[in-house]
């Protein structure tokens, strides 16, 4: 299956794209999605490990199955004060 992942903030800058298309096996987990993102976009790898994935506007657990019907987004950590 092919999924599209929206990239925000530093992830968008590093990948030089606002959306990443990733090929995954059926029933893949969000952890597998993160691994595929890191493999497909090597400069993103350090950021992927500290980022969270959201599906349909809700953060998801790495062990959950990817919801192909939801809008997926990689949310990097933010800092501020």
Q: What is the mean pLDDT of residues 46-75?
A: 95
Distance between CA atoms of residues 60 and 28, nearest Å:
13
Could you tell me the sign of the dihedral formed by the alpha carbons of 50, 53, 58, 59, in that order?
negative
The residues pairing with 4 across neighbouring beta strands, listed in sequence order, are 21
**pTM strictly above 0.85:** yes
Whether the pLDDT of residue 20 is over 80: the answer is yes
């Amino acid at each position: 299956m092919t999924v599209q992942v929206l990239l925000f903030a530093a992830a968008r800058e590093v990948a030089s794209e606002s959306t990443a298309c990733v090929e995954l096996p059926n029933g893949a987990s969000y952890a597998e999605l993160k691994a595929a993102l890191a493999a497909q976009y090597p400069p993103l790898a350090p950021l992927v490990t500290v980022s969270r994935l959201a599906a349909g506007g809700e953060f998801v657990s790495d062990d959950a199955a990817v919801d192909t019907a939801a809008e997926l987004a990689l949310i990097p950590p933010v800092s501020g004060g």
